[in-house]
Amino acid sequence: MALDHFKSHVVWLILVGTPEEALKLLAENYQVDIPALKVGMPKKNKLKAYGCYTAKNQTIYVRNSDILVNPLVILHEFYHHLRSRAVDRVHRGTENKADQFAMDFILQYQMALKETHQKDQKSSS
């Protein structure tokens, strides 16, 4: 698996607290509108979710500000944004794919960290 710098950069942007920048990059890359990002869940939402996506207003909601730096949740919800134009509007069944989408980004970030670490070791020896 080759290192994907775009994906690791997106994860990094979320981790350092600039999820809006990450969403902007993602939207550009996948050629979709930039989704809005709001802290606080819509009233009707189920209790335990960390985040949710509403296609009607293209908004990603997160439970609290801690979630803004959680790339798994942000990327998972972005996947719903990405897929919201698709014919199947059914939320069920896409959950696994949304998790896979998010995990792929995380893996790329972890690989990038490893690569950086290996470079450090070489230069210090």
Nearest distance from C-beta of residue 100 to Zn ion, angstroms: 12
Binding mask 47-66 for Zn ion (x = CB under 5 A): --------------------
Query: Could you tell me the two tokens for 93?
Result: 């069944």
72-111 positions binding Zn ion, by CB under 5 A:
95, 98
CB of 77 to Zn ion, least distance (A): 7
How far CA 115 is from CA of 71, 104, 110, in Å, comes to 20, 17, 9
> Is 74 within 8 Å of 68 (Cβ atoms)?
yes
CA-CA-CA-CA dihedral for 112, 109, 38, 20, to nearest 10: 30
Least distance (Å) from Zn ion to the CB of residue 95?
5
Nearer to Zn ion, 71 or 112 (CB): 71
In the complex, which residues of this chain contact Zn ion (CB under 5 A)? 95, 98
